Amino acid sequence: MRVMAQMSMIMNLDKCIGCHTCSVTCKQVWTNRTGVEYVWFNNVETKPGVGYPRRYEDQEKWKGGWIRNKRGRLKLRSGGRLKRLATIFNNPDLPVIDDYYEPWTYDYDMLTKAPLSTQSPVARPKSLLTGKNMDIKWSGNWDDNLGGSQETAADDPILATMSEHVKMEFENTFMFYLPRICEHCLNPACVAACPSGAMYKREEDGIVLVDEDGCRGWRMCVSACPYKKVYFNHKTGKAEKCTLCYPLIEQGKPTICSETCVGRLRYLGLMLYDADAVLAAASIENDEDLLDAQRGVFLDPFDPEVIAAAKAEGMEDDWILAAQNSPIYKLISEYKVALPLHPEYRTMPMVWYIPPLSPVVDVISTTNNDGEDARTLFAAIDKLRIPVEYLAGLFSAGDTIPVESSLRKLAAMRSYMRDINLGRDRDESIPEAVGMTGTEIEAMYRLLAIAKYEDRYVIPKAHVETARELEELACSLDTDGGPGMGGPTAATAAGPYGKTPGMPFSATVDNYNEMVGRGGEKTRPTTPGRINLLNWNGGGVPPGLFPPRVPPVGNAGSPA
Amino acid sequence: MNPIDFLLWVAFPYAAMAVFVVGHIFRYRHDQFGWTSRSSQTYENRLLRWGSPMFHYGILMVLGGHIVGLLVPKEWLEFFGVTEQIYHLGATWLGSVAAALTLAGLAILIYRRRLNSRVLLATTVMDKIMYLLLGAALLFGTTATVLFQVLGPGYDYRGTISPWVRGLLLAQPDPSLMSHVPFFFQLHVLSATLLFMLWPFTRLVHVFSAPLAYFVRPYIVYRSRDQHRGSGSRKPRRGWEKSELPGSTRDRQGTRR
């Protein structure tokens, strides 16, 4: 047993309103640079829909993830080592930029500086790749809220596997949002496909990162990732991906997408797992068994044997405690309501989802039935095959049982808690029907519905005493003459690969902790010894108005 | 010794060699971030799908041919029974195929680079110079081969150019070997030498990143968060190390987190 910790995320899809705040804040923080205009480390898709990049779930085409070969061994779907190097001069499975969308800006200048004319000026869209006028035909969320989906939704690879009846009916039936980030998989295909060995999984927290210095731009990670969450920066010629905001995570803070999520639907915490068991679990024969296989890889953080093994691996006590308090562990292993996205890709993804009950509730409500009644809900889950089968296509390789079980638990929570909130008697038969107790349901309600900040994010800090030399593994932009050279003062300087706004303040553990105390309060003034002149009434000389007098040294003349 | 011969066939090649070696070391130490093939596949794939493999496989064949022709002495091959006739036939035919493949690939790539506006805008000045020199070296070499080996009686460069190259590498340069070599061979050598000189400052550095280690490494790579690793992150430059309390160097083996 080799105990490793994985920083993981769970998103409660029932609460997602599709506002894209996570996407926007993520973009502002990470991808507002040239070369990654088309890149969204976090994106929100409307399901059913084709996704971003278009039809990324169609692995027959893109060849992402792993497959199990006839001898029962795991193999990258895009081919083995020899084939990879043989096709290195032209990656046969690489999506081109048009599969995402051609990035553009607007000719805003025309609005203020257009010459006198009879028509009012317009800001035409200009391609950020060619600088020419362009027609906008697609973007990252073009089919948002099923917009235009009568034309595009038939291309949804999950929908395509379902019956004709479903394809015709789905629009009247259900819709939900699916926010996606990098899955930080336990068995990452991108890492396995990188010819340079520049991609790696961090031993401490399992975050999958690209070493920008080691990347040689072979683009194999982009095509090997079945979720298409590694992107090619077309200006620097390097791969980039979601970092799980590791500078924040290391400080015990949630990622920017979680922090700014208005629905407060994201959960962050540790999962302990047995790294030695990952390969066997990912190689299991039937796709439908992968969910249970992955659950089997996770370790019980309360098990004394696991704790002893973790300590033997050098895990600190506060990390073990964080693993015990982890909302992820509760939702995946205790309540078993969270499910992985596309386990059939065999990468063992670690961003899991609580499937949305709302499509079911919506249908009940439109038929004037009680959408909070347990029996009605249970019956509807059994009857409403379309959303359940579709959800199973996303979260359990087509097996409807885990999705149903999860939805029934959510339904049970809904009606059990309604009785409590209305002051009625508790109906203990409801939790029993889903194999839970009333206490468990109430705890789950606290976690999912009340969702306190400190319950959602249980993130142990990276250990400062061991992280002294971390320094983000050195900023790779900070080269001689590079865009980041000289630190913040050179933030406006253009490097050889274009402008890089905002780089690079070194967001390291130690200098952050130096500036800010434990509770986040400032422990030190930013300008020591100064006074705020706005508070000065003009009388007298308050201390700090002038810099302290330097006593004259020896008999050198005093300063003027 | 003719001073021009000395300049062209001793001084210039050695200067190029020095720039080549020192330039690569310098760039590897200071510009890991810029060390990439700078692929344009995401802009356009229809033409690249044909052009890039044709060019690359062709140029690899060309490279192999040059290694056999220039670095392996004639006598060694003859020892193994490869006579002048056999060598000439093999070199001419294989060489022509490789040249055709390479030139056709390069033609597609340059056409694409010029006419696809996305790719054109991503082209740097250094790219253009590199394309010019690479094209020149390939064209002169092909012209020389066609004129002398295919159409003509055959020129035995293994008696002149090859010993000159080996002499350069063994620090016993002999410029007189090159002074009577046919003009197109001379042009080929000179343009190639100039290309070598600029090599470390172009995207051609990606040649030295051929990821052969991929065959032997495990699929999943783990790295410790605080591991200062081999390639990749540089050590801070001398004099720019962060200040640290004396004696605070921690035990890296002991704790992992």
Mean pLDDT of A488-512: 42
Indicate whether A493 pLDDT > 70.
Answer: no
Q: How many residues are present in chain B?
A: 257
- Global pTM? 0.84
Indicate whether A411 pLDDT > 90.
Answer: yes
Closest CB from B33, B217, B221 relative to A212: B33
Closest CB from B36, B225, B244 relative to A238: B36
- What pLDDT does residue A399 have? 94
- What pLDDT does residue A555 have? 54
What's the whole-number average pLDDT of chain A?
Answer: 85
Interface contact B38-A316, CB threshold 8 A: no
Banded pLDDT at B241 (limits 50, 70, 90): low
- What pLDDT does residue A75 have? 94
Among the ranges given (A44-58, A163-177, A254-268), the one the predictor scored with the smallest mean pLDDT: A163-177
| Tokens, residue A37 | 């205009």
Where does A266-384 have alpha helices with state H? 278-282, 290-297, 304-312, 317-324, 327-329, 358-366, 374-383
Phi, psi (rounded to 5 degrees) for A121: -70, 150
Q: Which positions ≥6 away from A76 have C-beta within 8 Å?
A: A65, A66, A67, A84, A189, A192, A193, A224
What is the amino acid identity at position B239? G
Among the ranges given (A4-13, A417-426, A524-533), the one the predictor scored with the smallest mean pLDDT: A524-533
- What pLDDT does residue A92 have? 95
- What pLDDT does residue B245 have? 59
- What pLDDT does residue A291 have? 96
Q: Which residues pair with A339 in a beta bridge?
A: A353
Peptide bond into A355 cis (omega under 30): no
- Please indicate if any CB of chain A lies within 8 Å of the CB of B226: yes
| Residue % of chain A over a pLDDT of 90 | 66
Task: Give the closest residue to A338 by CA, choosing from A248, A284, A410.
Answer: A410
Interface of A with B in 493-522 (CB under 8 A): 496-497
- What pLDDT does residue A541 have? 79
pLDDT 10s digits, A369-398: 888 888 989 988 888 877 888 999 999 999
Q: Are A9 and A245 in contact (CB under 8 A)?
A: no
- What pLDDT does residue A384 have? 80
Helix (H, G, I), strand (E, B) or coil at A347: coil
- What pLDDT does residue A513 have? 52
- What pLDDT does residue A229 have? 97
Task: Give the closest residue to B205 by CA, choosing from B28, B10, B8.
Answer: B28
- Please indicate if any CB of chain B lies within 8 Å of the CB of A204: yes
- What pLDDT does residue A278 have? 96
| Tokens, residue B238 | 């001398």
- What pLDDT does residue A532 have? 65
In whole angstroms, what is the distance from residue B198 CA to residue B209 CA?
17
- What pLDDT does residue A483 have? 46
C-alpha distance from residue B245 to each of A86, A144, A466, B248, B249 (Å) = 51, 54, 14, 6, 8
C-alpha distance from residue B5 to each of A529, B1, B163, B181, B190 (Å) = 72, 7, 16, 12, 12
- What pLDDT does residue A535 have? 66
Among the ranges given (A152-161, A422-431, B114-123), the one the predictor scored with the smallest mean pLDDT: A152-161
Alpha-carbon distance A121 to nearest alpha carbon in chain B (angstroms): 27
Phi, psi (rounded to 5 degrees) for A285: -65, -55
| Tokens, residue A2 | 């080799």
In whole angstroms, what is the distance from residue B32 CA to residue A480 CA?
10
Buried b (16+ CB within 10 A) or exposed e, B9-44: bbebbeebeebbeebbeebeeebbbbbbbbbbbbbb
Better-scored residue on pLDDT, A358 or A354: A354
Interface contact B256-A92, CB threshold 8 A: no
Residue of B nearest to A237 (CA): B38
Mean pLDDT of A450-475: 71
A411 sits in which H/E element = helix A400-421
- What pLDDT does residue B35 have? 94
Give domain limits for chain B: 3-214
pLDDT 10s digits, B8-36: 999 999 999 999 999 999 999 888 899 99
In whole angstroms, what is the distance from residue B211 CA to residue B220 CA?
16
What is the amino acid identity at position A360? V
- What pLDDT does residue B254 have? 35
Mean pLDDT of B60-86: 92
Q: In the CATH scheme, what is the homologous superfamily, with its name and number, of domain B3-214?
A: Transmembrane di-heme cytochromes, Chain C (1.20.950.20)
For β-strands A199-202 and A208-210, DSSP reports them as: antiparallel
ipTM: 0.86
Beta strands in A79-227 (DSSP E): 104-106, 125-127, 176-180, 199-202, 208-210
What is the amino acid identity at position B135? G
Interface of A with B in 236-295 (CB under 8 A): 236-238, 250
Among the ranges given (A240-254, A392-406, A500-514, B101-115), the one the predictor scored with the smallest mean pLDDT: A500-514
Indicate whether A5 pLDDT > 60.
Answer: yes
Peptide bond into A496 cis (omega under 30): no
CA R_g for chain A: 27
| Tokens, residue A373 | 């009644």
Phi, psi (rounded to 5 degrees) for A106: -115, 155
- What pLDDT does residue A506 have? 44
Q: Which residues of B touch A94 (CB under 8 A)?
A: 41-42, 45
Better-scored residue on pLDDT, A371 or A477: A371
pLDDT 10s digits, A516-556: 554 544 544 444 556 667 667 777 777 777 777 777 765 54
Mean pLDDT of B166-188: 94
| Residue % of chain A over a pLDDT of 70 | 83
Indicate whether B236 pLDDT > 80.
Answer: no
Helix axes A438-445, A400-421, angle to 10 degrees: 90
DSSP code at position A435: T
Phi, psi (rounded to 5 degrees) for A451: 50, 60
- Please indicate if any CB of chain B lies within 8 Å of the CB of A95: yes
What's the whole-number average pLDDT of chain B?
Answer: 89
Q: Which positions ≥6 away from A7 have C-beta within 8 Å?
A: A184, A205, A206, A207, A244, A249, A268, A269, A270, A459
Judge residue B49's burial from the number of C-beta atoms within 10 Å of its C-beta, 0-12 exposed, 13-18 middle, 19 or more buried.
middle
Q: Which positions ≥6 away from A547 have C-beta within 8 Å?
A: A529
Closest CB from B36, B40, B229 relative to A215: B36
In whole angstroms, what is the distance from residue B233 CA to residue B101 CA?
38
- What pLDDT does residue A478 have? 45
Indicate whether A20 pLDDT > 50.
Answer: yes
Mean pLDDT of A85-101: 95
Banded pLDDT at B238 (limits 50, 70, 90): confident
Better-scored residue on pLDDT, A473 or B140: B140
In whole angstroms, what is the distance from residue A514 CA to residue A512 CA?
5
Banded pLDDT at A360 (limits 50, 70, 90): confident
Indicate whether A500 pLDDT > 50.
Answer: no
Q: Which positions ≥6 away from B237 have C-beta within 8 Å?
A: none
